[in-house]
Chains A and B, each alone.
Chain A
């Protein structure tokens, strides 16, 4: 059943891959690892947006969506063949991943590879014991998918305002539509589908962090970063329980990588992809809307810093062109289908002001954030703190283009500030809200945080090399 589920997603994944090859042409096999990890998110994200429009125009019952997806794949493939000109290759390409052949890179890379294989085995063992996932999976994502699969003629009932608010009928549809689409194509409500999607996002996040760091630094640094991500028990736990925190974190990381790349190279296609990926983050979870807003604000300020209105227009045109498809889906869904959000509903200016000015609320939120920062995931794992110490000890010295780090860091910090603001004004009991969501919200930014730390620090190879160089100099003296 896992294999059958995978086959359903093959056109979506290939569409993502070819789209990436088209947007960042640099040869199909160059930076393959990076493209594979990005194509998972791009493919599944775009596929869910297209299925949403398909449902609006036709119906989920219409089984031709699979044929349409294969047709799209064929069109994209033909376009790739047509546009794959050598002149583009040299001009517009992402820097290649530097897979050094030094002992350090080989050692850390091998350990990481072994741990990824072991994690795959653990993922299978854990997730098959809880095939429906935990609360978030069966109360939100898979519940919506069931509504659509079991009654495709009335699929919009999945967002009925009559549903209890705890089922969050207003949450975006990336995961639910992917699950429902596969169930409809298979004709069976298999738990293997959401398991497979979780697995795809789990391993794509790991590989993306590795390849993104390797692109901007080196593979020994990338392995340490991926190992640190893997050591956070949250990662595998959220994936095995089919929590949407993993896909959200994946899209945050992918966007931050594209923004960092854009600041480094200034290529428009990187900004187009940043727009697409941040839009897909917002199409995954409501929290993604905060991230999207953070992206807008950060890109705006970084553009006006360059004191050129042409640059501002150029930047936003590129960013919005990538954002267009997911944003259209989000706007239609939020305006015409989704019930009001439980956080914003029944809020008045007075009640908002009261909450914002309440110092005890501020204190509670700070304390919980700090607690999670130090003891991540109730496993006594200070991964955030360790990464921060690493950042302080190994910080790179100039000459280094700090803009590469500053833009993604600004996005992450603004997102965190946005989350803080949501807790501040939440209409729900603050302790309850913090208890059941703060850890997941902090996890959203965790892979992006690691990425920022690891691109702004010296690599282990550089450290060892400098010591070796010093010793050699002394010997010569």
Chain B
């Protein structure tokens, strides 16, 4: 359909207004049609996009599944690691907890330190762990790596037992 130009010269001014109105109505009609098409397209897009995104995550989650790796998650592993020291600790009360971040000059990851401290507290509850405080009768040590640690000289802690995997039990210096 050909649309007459709105400012085309016309001898009759009233006729020009009618033509302009007609032109705008047609334009609006086209705009409405475009919006409607856009709506349908967006609706279809949203539908397929949602399905695709959901399936993508379902796929990711399913890939995590490995029946041979059950109970090998960080919390389960950490509980196994602390099983030895757990027998030598009181069930309740409070003990100290030190790790790499309390030992001067050691490079450490703050996130790992937080994670391991939380996992230790989770494994040993209801015993309360006092982070970074050596002024307790018993102090748990969590020090990974091959560093030649001088616990007594640097932290004033007397080693009671080394349980392996970087887990130690110390005699602290209660106030």
Contacts and interface: CB of A to CB of B under 8 A. Distances in A.
B128 A224 contact: no
A232 B91 CA distance: 42
A129 B46 contact: no
Interface residues of A, number: 56
Interface in A225-246: 227-228, 230-233, 236-237, 240
B118 A166 contact: yes
Contact of A135 (B56, B94, B118): B118
Contact of A146 (B43, B51, B52, B125): B125
A129 B73 contact: yes
B152 to A, nearest CB: 26
B50 interface: yes
A138 interface: yes
Contacts of A166: 114, 117-118
B24 interface: no
Interface residues of B, number: 47
Contact of A119 (B46, B56, B58, B128): B58
Contact of A236 (B42, B52, B57): B57
B148 interface: no
A231 B94 contact: no
A269 B128 CA distance: 45
B149 interface: no
Contacts of B119: 138
Given A115-B51, A126-B64, A138 B75 contact: yes
B64 A129 contact: yes
A108 B51 CA distance: 10
B22 interface: no
A150 B76 CA distance: 17
A162 B130 contact: yes
B161 to A, nearest CB: 23
B46 A157 contact: no
A132 B129 contact: no
Contact of A129 (B54, B66, B131): B66
Contacts, number: 145
B53 interface: yes
A463 to B, nearest CB: 6
Contact of B94 (A162, A227, A390, A464): A162
Interface SS majority for chain B: helix
A121 B62 contact: yes
B134 to A, nearest CB: 16
Interface stretch (B8-16, B33-41, B165-173): B33-41
Contact of B75 (A132, A154, A227): A132
Nearest to A230: B54
Nearest to A137: B75
B101 interface: no
B55 A129 contact: no
B33 to A, nearest CB: 9
A132 B46 contact: no
A240 B61 contact: yes
B50 A228 contact: yes
B163 to A, nearest CB: 21
B63 to A, nearest CB: 8
- Point out which of A118, A130, A164, A237 has the most chain B C-beta atoms below 10 A from its C-beta: A164
Given A154-B92, A231-B54, A386 B121 contact: no
B57 A143 contact: no
B106 to A, nearest CB: 20
A160 interface: yes
A236 B61 contact: yes
A118 B118 contact: no
A147 B126 CA distance: 5
A190 interface: no
A47 interface: no
A373 B36 CA distance: 27
A240 B73 CA distance: 13
A157 B118 contact: no
A167 B53 contact: no
B71 interface: yes
B109 to A, nearest CB: 14
Contacts of A129: 64-66, 69-70, 73
B118 A139 contact: yes
A118 B92 CA distance: 44
Nearest to A120: B58
Nearest to B75: A132
Contacts of B35: 393
A118 B47 CA distance: 17
Interface string A107-123: 01001000100110111
A457 B144 CA distance: 57
A150 B125 contact: yes
A348 to B, nearest CB: 26
Interface in A161-203: 162-164, 166-167
Interface in A131-150: 131-133, 135, 138-139, 142-143, 146-147, 150
Given A115-B51, A143-B122, A150-B125, 17 more contacts: A118-B54, A122-B58, A126-B61, A129-B64, A129-B70, A131-B73, A132-B76, A146-B126, A150-B91, A154-B92, A157-B126, A164-B117, A166-B117, A167-B118, A383-B53, A460-B43, A463-B40
25 contacts: A108-B47, A115-B54, A121-B58, A122-B62, A125-B64, A130-B75, A131-B75, A132-B122, A135-B115, A138-B118, A139-B121, A143-B122, A154-B92, A154-B126, A157-B126, A164-B130, A231-B51, A231-B54, A236-B61, A237-B57, A393-B38, A393-B42, A463-B39, A464-B40, A467-B36
